[in-house]
Amino acid sequence: MSGNGAKIDSPCTGVCRISGTTGLCEGCFRSLDEIARWGVMGPAARRAVMEELPGRKRAATADGRGALPPRPAGFPRDI
């Protein structure tokens, strides 16, 4: 992406579930604050968040390769 102010799409994957452990969305790995502010963030702020997401995903996953651990049996369903 160039620095010309081009639109930066949302990283939302449709898996909208906040982890009680990390406080991040388990689908896109943004914080609630980042999700709420995404529509009013400028391109530079969005790019900064986008650059952090791969590292957050690696840190938040059980094996460090992007595979989320299975949800425990009886865990409340997604909202």
Q: Please provide the DSSP assignment of 13-77 as one string.
A: -S---B-TTTSBBTTT--BHHHHHHGGG--HHHHHHHHHHHHHHHHHHSSSSSSPPPPPPTTPPP
**Pairwise CA distance, residues 79 & 73, whole Å:** 17
In tens, the pLDDT along 23-74 reads 899 999 999 999 999 999 999 999 999 999 999 988 887 665 555 555 556 5
Burial class from Cβ neighbours inside 10 Å (0-12, 13-18, 19+) for residue 5 reads exposed
pTM over 0.75: no
